[in-house]
Amino acid sequence: RYHSKRTDKYGFTRSFKVYECEDCSGCPLRSLCTKAKAESNRKIFYNEKWEQQKEYIKEQLSKKETGEIYGKRKIDVEPVFGFL
């Protein structure tokens, strides 16, 4: 539909591609899909950089050696914060 930019409270600006359904007024799944007002359609905000980062992290965490490091972190680091 259009491109959008948002700036958060820290001054970081993010770019989004905004997709919108043409007409979802007669959709039987509307209440499960969106909380938008009856006259509004479902909108999806897509940030390409964010999606790439999520895919990269998912890939890294699925590696065996990364999983072993992450498992050790749970044992070494997190109990300290629990005790505090």
How would you write the pLDDT of the chain (84 residues) with one tens digit per residue? 899 999 989 999 999 999 988 888 888 888 888 887 877 888 889 999 999 999 998 888 888 888 788 777 766 666 666 666
Q: How far apart are CA 54 and CA 40, in angstroms?
A: 29
Same domain? For 23 and 5 the reply is yes
Instruction: Provide the domain limits for residue 66.
Output: 49-84
Same domain? For 3 and 42 the reply is yes
Our measurement of the distance from residue 55's CA atom to the centroid of its chain's CA atoms, rounded to an integer in Å, reads 11
Q: How far apart are CA 61 and CA 74, in angstroms?
A: 14
pTM: 0.58
Same domain? For 1 and 36 the reply is yes
